[in-house]
Chain A
């Protein structure tokens, strides 16, 4: 893929949340939620962003839409640096980048009816009123498979899957180019998850959308994404085309993560060997020195405790941050 197809480029992005203590709220440290992240997103693709809870994937999503102001680094959208924009300039860009949130029970206001929820962005950005507004809302609801006759109902009258559809309709209202889907299916039941994923795929084909799909469910990410980025403790450890990543994972963490996901087929499961990694995620306020995976990595050597690995291209379009992979030029299969 070429640079001109690039819709989003992220360079050295950092987001620290300060820890304050005591009467004077002294600044005693930082939670390094996102700590130096580089990647790009091409127009029309779906980039999957996976990792365990607390690894910073949601923070990246929220920083891109500038719900958080980045501590450091750049977010270029169509060549413009979002990190530097003023509030007013942001408004015009916000309509091009929208977000779908994780919890459809918390992300819709219980006091607003569906018409107001879906119509609000149109009123704010396009000053749409009256029949135009109603028609557009009906069209949006139709896109996501909700009957427009439900327009005057309230969120509590809908099930989880339907609420997520309403959230999707709202995110589509302003014809965005990029949608950040922050775990859109993790709170839904299995049979409803498939409905929502299919809907997202259909909308992408129809409207030419670009997605960043944040999730911890690796099998669904594999299904929906073109490329996948794996995060660990505020950093991206590996990024590649999905087939390459799932067949030839370089980083030991990616290998362990893939092998931890159970496959719904008892025969495959019986024959599979599994890589277990010990222990828990370290505290992001006090990450380990050197490679931040060294506390759990079964392969860790001296250099991993001394020096932070660079994020480098091992094969074409396949980046990884691991000293051992860098040295050998290939993965050590766990």
Chain B
């Protein structure tokens, strides 16, 4: 595409948590770029650092125990990590907004939905009560809630799960954010509702010219939603690139295994699924070498000593693996 405008540049982001059991290396040396109009998928299993990375960008890491050890998050030329709380507050919810996984718990049950949407509008856009109310009603109908004006006075428990997630999206959109970070927004919803939410976000993205970071563990959602993808394992990006490249020619054994462990929708005969042996490592303490080495079938001595850096295979594909030439999709 032409006229790509770089809006986000994450460089070497490292976030750790200092707990009683030890130091949790949640995100390690994470680097990626995002252009305007991108939908970037971040995929990985639970505990791989995908949510912590999003919270780090938003400046929402609780400290202590959390600490961003190193790195930069450059948003339109400005390093977000160097901002103080007041400056960050102008960006958070305004320029970069986030929707969370669980729509049941991320709304306040004792405040009306309308009040919660208006809160952000009044704070960031200097609107009066009446104006903000009109805007909130407009947003609710934008996300497909019928009779929006009346529903503003409802409490979250009057809404179903899908409607709550729609209300959360309305709240996130209230200030026309440049980037919308969606942290597993459909995980707790049923598939038919998930399809509705995915369509909604796709339409809104076109309409409002947003860029989206979509965090999920569901490779199907990634295939449907995004154009670029970061595959994470144990706090690191182990493969990234355009979604077609990564799904067609995965070059990291973990990505290959993950894709292979899904049932093939075309298969008519019964074959066993590929399964990656073992379990993801504990992130307490430093991992020597590649974190996937103990589950990997391609492992060589070097993997146990050194973490492979992300290497560029072509314009649209980077992978971190010493043996990537040998790795093939089955």
A56 in the interface (beta carbon within 8 A): no
Asked if A194 contacts B279 (CB within 8 A), the reply is no
**CB of B22 to closest CB in A, whole Å:** 18
Query: Do A262 and B224 touch across chains, with their CB atoms under 8 A apart?
Result: yes
Q: Are A219 and B263 in contact (CB under 8 A)?
A: yes
Chain B residues whose C-beta falls within 8 Å of the C-beta of A278 in the assembled complex: 196
CB neighbours of A193 from chain B (8 A): 261
Task: Tell me whether B244 and A223 are in contact (CB under 8 A).
Answer: no
Is residue A198 within 8 Å, beta carbon to beta carbon, of the partner chain? yes
Residue of A nearest to B274 (CB): A194
Q: Report how far A20 CA is from B247 CA in the complex, Å.
A: 53
A276/B191 in contact, CB under 8 A: no
**Which one of B75-83, B120-128, B177-185, B265-273 is at the interface?**
B265-273
Judge if B300 is at the interface, Cβ distance under 8 Å: no
Selecting from A1-9, A77-85, A184-192, the interface stretch reads A184-192
In the assembled complex, how far is the CB of residue A217 from the closest CB belonging to chain B, in whole angstroms?
A: 8
Establish whether residues B190 and A191, one from each chain, have CB atoms under 8 Å apart when the complex forms: no
Measured CA separation A63–B222 after assembly (Å) = 37
Interface string of A277-298 (1 = CB under 8 A from B): 1101100000000000000000
User: Does A280 contact B162, Cβ atoms closer than 8 Å?
Assistant: yes
B199 at the interface (CB under 8 A from A): yes
Give 1 or 0 for each of B266-304: 1 = CB within 8 Å of chain A CB.
011010111111011000000000000000000000000
The smallest beta-carbon distance between A107 and chain B, in angstroms, is: 19
Closest to B226 in A: A266
Tell me the chain B residues, 201-225 only, with Cβ under 8 Å from chain A: 217-224
B160, B244, B275: the one within 8 Å of A191 (CB): B275
Task: Establish whether residues B276 and A191, one from each chain, have CB atoms under 8 Å apart when the complex forms.
Answer: yes
B residues 139-193 in Cβ contact with A at 8 Å: 160-163, 190-193
On chain A, the residues within 8 Å of B196 by CB distance are 276, 278
Contact A264 B259 (CB under 8 A): yes
Residue of B nearest to A272 (CB): B224
Do A189 and B191 touch (CB < 8 A)? no
Chain A residues positioned under 8 Å from B11 (CB to CB): none
Chain B: number of interface residues, binned into ranges: 35 or more
The answer to whether residues A264 and B223 also contact, given A194-B261, A216-B191, A277-B192 and a CB cut-off of 8 A, is yes
B19 at interface, CB cutoff 8 A = no
Question: Shortest beta-carbon distance, A103 to chain B, in Å?
Answer: 14
Q: A189-B46, A190-B217, A190-B219 are in contact. Are A261 and B191 (CB under 8 A)?
A: yes
Which of B161, B190, B222, B270 has the most A CB atoms < 10 Å from its CB? B190
- Known interface pairs A194-B273, A194-B275, A198-B273; A263-B220 also in contact (CB < 8 Å): yes
Task: Answer whether residue A146 sits at the interface, using C-beta atoms and an 8 A cutoff.
Answer: no
Q: Is A203 an interface residue (CB 8 A)?
A: no
In angstroms, Cα B194 to Cα A269, docked, is 15
In the complex, are the beta carbons of A189 and B217 less than 8 A apart? yes
Asked whether A152 is an interface residue with its Cβ less than 8 Å from the other chain, the reply is no
Is residue A267 contacting chain B, with contact meaning CB distance below 8 A? yes
Nearest-neighbor residue (CB-CB) of A219 within chain B: B263
Tell yes or no: B195 within 8 A of A by CB: yes
Contact A198 B223 (CB under 8 A): no
Chain A residue at minimum C-beta to C-beta distance from B264: A223
The answer on a CB contact under 8 Å between A262 and B223 is: yes
> When the two chains form the complex, which single residue of B45, B192, B199 contacts A257, counting CB atoms closer than 8 Å?
B192
> How far apart sit A189 and B243, CA to CA, in the bound complex (Å)?
21
Min distance, Cβ A181 to any Cβ of chain B, angstroms: 16
A191 to B: closest C-beta gap in Å: 4
8 Å CB interface, A218-259 against B:
218-220, 222-223, 243, 246, 256-257, 259
**B156 → chain A closest CB, angstroms:** 15
Contacts of B190 in A (CB 8 A): 52-53, 216, 281
Contact A260 B194 (CB under 8 A): yes
Residue of B nearest to A192 (CB): B279
Given contacts A193-B261, A276-B196, contact A257 B279 (CB under 8 A): no
Give chain A nearest CB distance to B185 CB in angstroms: 14
**Docked-complex contact A198 and B275, CB < 8 angstroms:** yes
B279 touches A52 (CB 8 A): no
**Chain B residues near A (Cβ < 8 Å):** 45-46, 160-163, 190-196, 198-199, 217-224, 243-244, 247-248, 257-259, 261-265, 267-268, 270, 272-277, 279-280
Q: Lowest 4 CB-CB distances: which A-B pairs, in order?
A: A262-B220, A223-B263, A194-B261, A260-B195
Q: List 12 A-B contacts (CB under 8 A).
A: A190-B258, A191-B45, A191-B261, A198-B273, A218-B191, A219-B265, A223-B273, A266-B223, A266-B244, A267-B244, A274-B195, A277-B192
